[in-house]
Amino acid sequence: MKALFLGSGTSVGVPVIGCGCEVCRSTDPHNRRLRSSVLITTDSTSLLIDFGPDLRAQALRHNITAVDAVLCTHEHLDHVAGFDDLRAFCWAREELLPIYAGGQCVERLKTMYPWAFEPGGYRGYVRAHGICHHGREFRVGDIMVQPVPVMHSSVETYGYALRAGSSSFGYVPDVKEMPPASRELLSGLDALALDGLCFPQHRTHLCIDENIALMHELAPKRGIVTHIGHRVEHHALEDYLPDFMQPAFDGLELEL
Ligand SMILES: [Zn+2]
Ligand SMILES: [Zn+2]
Ligand SMILES: [Zn+2]
């Protein structure tokens, strides 16, 4: 199983429009972050997690032409605003594109893009099968997907623990707190990517130190900080993190 980070930035991306801070002015590609999203692939299956406003640029950059299913963490626009660009993954397929999300998020997607969920669909448009997973484990191709409920703002939010063969990967881009049962689902993975928005405390996101503390508890072989804001410089964060951890960057690919 491989995990390709298509984007590693927070909701506004980095650089931030109109900001002249050191990170926003940086020409280092590690400091240029599209909105957070990840592509998981095995020899036979590909899964996209989240479809933010940068999906088109991300698909073109990495030549992503098809996905078997889409998982959604929650309804915030930095995770679902690229819905319209999912069309490109629908034109060649006979079946509806499965979009797995929590119940609240499925309902919200149906309100935002009702034409995509109408019986028979809309010619040339996303023909979406919105599937509410209620936290239960399910299979897509050869990947087992375990949704992991987490707390992040007032919106129902999930992370995902994925297993294929002997490899495992966890992805939780937006989280402030995690109930004990969810911590169990994310313990001891080969790699785990967790929200790490900024150094100061934040109301709805883990800060870097909270991320590190949770990583020590969940003990993945590799810990990755993602959904990073513009106040965090890539190499400074790299130096700050313990040895088993690293910052995500756009284009980071993990072989699991
Ligand atoms: Zn977000
Ligand atoms: Zn800035
Ligand atoms: Zn969010």
Q: What angle do CA 141, 121, 58 make, to 5 degrees?
A: 55
Rounded to the nearest whole angstrom, what is the distance from the C-alpha of residue 174 to the centroid of ligand 3?
5
Question: Residue 119: pLDDT above 90?
Answer: no
Rounded to the nearest whole angstrom, what is the distance from the C-alpha of residue 79 to the centroid of ligand 3?
7
Rounded to the nearest whole angstrom, what is the distance from the C-alpha of residue 9 to the centroid of ligand 1?
8
pLDDT per residue as tens digits for the range 43-98: 999 999 999 999 999 999 999 999 999 999 999 999 999 999 999 999 988 899 99
Q: What are the chain's domains?
A: 2-249+251-255 (3.60.15.10)
Question: Residue 123: pLDDT above 80?
Answer: no
Question: Residue 121: pLDDT above 90?
Answer: no
Rounded to the nearest whole angstrom, what is the distance from the C-alpha of residue 72 to the centroid of ligand 3?
11
How many Å separate Cα 201 from the centre of its chain?
21
Rounded to the nearest whole angstrom, what is the distance from the C-alpha of residue 56 to the centroid of ligand 3?
20
Which ligand sits closest to the CA of 12?
A: 1
Start-to-end CA distance of the chain, whole Å, equals: 5
Please give the mean pLDDT across all residues of the chain: 97
CB 37 within 8 A of CB 251: no
Higher-pLDDT residue of 166, 121: 166
What is the pTM assigned to this prediction? 0.97
Rounded to the nearest whole angstrom, what is the distance from the C-alpha of residue 173 to the centroid of ligand 1?
7
Rounded to the nearest whole angstrom, what is the distance from the C-alpha of residue 11 to the centroid of ligand 3?
8
Rounded to the nearest whole angstrom, what is the distance from the C-alpha of residue 49 to the centroid of ligand 2?
26
pLDDT per residue as tens digits for the range 125-169: 899 999 999 999 999 999 999 999 999 999 999 999 999 999 999
Rounded to the nearest whole angstrom, what is the distance from the C-alpha of residue 76 to the centroid of ligand 3?
5
For residue 104, give the nearest of 140, 138, 76, 69 by alpha carbon.
76
pLDDT per residue as tens digits for the range 104-113: 999 999 999 9
* Tally of residues, the chain: 256
pLDDT per residue as tens digits for the range 2-43: 999 999 999 999 999 999 999 999 999 999 999 999 999 999
Rounded to the nearest whole angstrom, what is the distance from the C-alpha of residue 20 to the centroid of ligand 2?
6
Q: What is the pLDDT of residue 26?
A: 98
Structure tokens at 38: 């990840």
Give the phi and the psi of residue 194 in degrees, each rounded to 5: -125, 145
Rounded to the nearest whole angstrom, what is the distance from the C-alpha of residue 152 to the centroid of ligand 1?
9
Q: What is the pLDDT of residue 124?
A: 81
Q: What is the pLDDT of residue 45?
A: 98
Which ligand sits closest to the CA of 21?
A: 2
| Cβ within 8 Å of residue 27, ≥6 positions away | none
- Tell me how far apart the alpha carbons of residues 207 and 13 are, in angstroms, rounded to a whole number: 17
